[in-house]
Structure 1
């Protein structure tokens, strides 16, 4: 992997917590604790039932600004239900998608706000990995929608609900999630194609456009890292300290032999960029790019693992092709 060290300590890995930390201790349940049904979501999820819910939501659809929400309590449902309070015009959300959304979570029993991402960092989760009720509420929605999702206890957080530390919030509680669907996180680069100089390695792709390797016509290492945009994405500019999600293929420049590909694994690569968590060539080459881009990195040994690495990493100059999927 392009890490400078073999692995980050556990404390450096971003917590994949759907609901973040509650305003009061103890912390909100993690996805693994939220619902025993979450693990079976991929095989069993059906969209939530359309309903006219006793929830009033006002305010513009804007992940930076929390809406005003009034719930007629106690709100209970036996079947997870959904109301679209503002219709978006974007693409439809499917179960296999990773979705970025802003949210506010309430207890249906009391109407109390339990957690909110508005004005902060949006949630980003693959729907097959989250609490079943949230997956049911988002499947079949559209980018740009504002939703009210009433999560039935059977699709909810189970016994982990007690970790919110709120009176009257338990395994039998109906939860209310107000969510603004921001986007579907892409699985590969999207944007305008950019012509690259002929002396740089050419990227080989499969029928789906996924990078598989390189054709190297000029194996002489550059003096400094070369970062060549191949597809120019339209997302935010990446700055130092951001968490960046990427897919990549890496090879030795001398012969184009691939030594690693995240595309062959189960997950994309996610790291903090620009802070020394990865090799210098990545920090230099990824910072300043835009989300959605495909970038070719040609990295001399000094900005990679050196000529004689001791940890089993590849020696000498390296070449990577990186698809930047997300950053926050």
Structure 2
């Protein structure tokens, strides 16, 4: 229930590199960038206390130089190898000239990650689609939130992150920032009888009252709020808030406890029940999904999700792009 990402397949994109680096230990969905992410049993408050960087850490980062690459190519980071720091440390290289960044905004960013041990590139989005983070997300490394907190769109920052084997250096360019709603907005829809009953608190956070009896064997897609935005299509980048429960009402995951979840729909980055059930639903809608095992995790256990589980989700579709 920690806002982890329920992914169907190993993450094939370089976004895995950013997720593994930028999330505090214990807060990400998986332990390895290539592993399938599973719901975390560790809360953000259980994460290790943030260690303040030393004067030596700050000086080491100041000594790193950045050379612009050709259009669409990675910038080059030059530094004395091996590069190490004792704590996460960040600095602004170039201040942005766009709109001021605000907590809660979804930031689009390009980045390159290099190994402090030998300078090899570990991941990059230059020349490809940008990655996204939510500014102020408590699961992000505080050094990143702090350095971006008083910056603007167009800012370029350098971040050093110590690791078990070596330090990673990450150059980040903030390409865009968007403020998005936190909950569905539209016309309420009265669902048919026999489905789990959904209630919302004052902030829009859902809870469910399970129903007795056997779970459905087919995918159930029931709008609860009909938004007036465009319908979702495969290949679109979509931002959601969601909560998930087992058929008996046991909660296992919720983005409401952290930041909204962004994924690319219809590309097998999430379970099939999401790809199939959310296609065609409109932005601003809230959708109840009941996902049979065949369209979820099948006969494989995923953390607190037992094998052969029917999953119940309430999904708020917040934004596209």
TM-score normalised by the shorter chain: which range applies? 0.5 to 0.7
Q: Give the 3 Å change call, closer, same or farther, for CA 12–159 of structure 1 in structure 2.
A: closer
Q: 2:244 aligns with which of 250, 264, 267?
A: 250
2:192 counterpart residue number? 197
Deviation at 1:99, TM superposition (A): 6.2
Q: 1:4 aligns with which of 4, 8, 11?
A: 8
TM-score (norm 1): 0.52
- Residues 237-296 of structure 1 show CA distances to partners (whole Å, capped at 9, x for unaligned) of 11111122111111111x1111111212x2222222112221111111111111111110
1:132 counterpart residue number? 150
2:92 counterpart residue number? 35
- Structure 1 CA distance, aligned partners of 2:240 and 2:227? 13
Q: Give the 3 Å change call, closer, same or farther, for CA 96–305 of structure 1 in structure 2.
A: same
Deviation at 1:221, TM superposition (A): 2.1
SS of the equivalent of 1:234 reads coil
1:1-328 correspondence runs (5 A): 1-5=5-9, 7-9=10-12, 11-13=14-16, 23=71, 25-27=73-75, 35=92, 95-98=102-105, 126=134, 129=145, 130=148, 132-134=150-152, 157=156, 184-211=179-206, 213-253=207-247, 255-264=248-257, 266-306=258-298, 308-312=299-303, 313-315=305-307, 316-328=309-321
- Structure 1 CA distance, aligned partners of 2:279 and 2:104? 26
Q: Give the 3 Å change call, closer, same or farther, for CA 325–27 of structure 1 in structure 2.
A: farther
Paired residues of 2:290 and 2:312 also in contact (CA < 8 A): yes
- Structure 2 CA distance, aligned partners of 1:159 and 1:215? 47
Q: Give the 3 Å change call, closer, same or farther, for CA 11–97 of structure 1 in structure 2.
A: closer
- Structure 2 CA distance, aligned partners of 1:297 and 1:216? 13
- Structure 1 CA distance, aligned partners of 2:76 and 2:152? 15
The structure with more radius of gyration: 1
TM-score (norm 2): 0.53
- Residues 114-151 of structure 1 show CA distances to partners (whole Å, capped at 9, x for unaligned) of xxxxxxx999775655473417xxxxxxxxxxxxxxx9
SS of the equivalent of 1:134 reads coil
- Structure 2 CA distance, aligned partners of 1:282 and 1:201? 18
Paired residues of 2:98 and 2:152 also in contact (CA < 8 A): no
- Structure 1 CA distance, aligned partners of 2:157 and 2:217? 57
SS of the equivalent of 1:240 reads coil
Q: Give the 3 Å change call, closer, same or farther, for CA 284–218 of structure 1 in structure 2.
A: farther
Deviation at 1:28, TM superposition (A): 9.8
- Structure 2 CA distance, aligned partners of 1:321 and 1:22? 45
- Structure 2 CA distance, aligned partners of 1:237 and 1:28? 40
* RMSD, matched Cα: 4.1
How many residues align? The count is 212
Deviation at 1:223, TM superposition (A): 3.0
Paired residues of 1:100 and 1:184 also in contact (CA < 8 A): no
Deviation at 1:191, TM superposition (A): 1.3
Q: Give the 3 Å change call, closer, same or farther, for CA 127–302 of structure 1 in structure 2.
A: closer
